[in-house]
Amino acid sequence: MINTTEHRLPSHWAPALINGDESGMEDQEIESMNSVLEYLGVEGEAVVVVTDESEFELPPSYIHSSYGLLAGAYSTFSFSF
């Protein structure tokens, strides 16, 4: 059985999460993304669906502010494991 979980994450992370393409990201942003994914328990898991992009919103409250996420465009990423 395939399990999935959904998380609201910055929309501009999509190329890195879907295709592994971090070329448009700075090192600090990559570290932040990897830290958030590890915190959520989905680091290295496959992204199966990206939906529901918003124009502007605050970061999800379940991700601590120490991870440095800012307000902006967020999408729902579905991870399978």
Q: What is the pLDDT of residues 31-47, one digit of tens each?
A: 999 999 999 999 888 88
- CA 9/CA 59 separation, integer angstroms: 8
Give the mean model confidence (pLDDT) for residues 51-78. 88
Paired residues of 77 in beta bridges? 7, 50
Sign of CA dihedral 55, 8, 43, 4: negative
The position carrying tokens 């059985």 is 1
Assess whether pLDDT exceeds 90 at residue 28: yes
Assess whether pLDDT exceeds 80 at residue 69: yes
What confidence tens digit (pLDDT) does each residue in 3-22 have?
Answer: 889 999 999 999 999 999 99
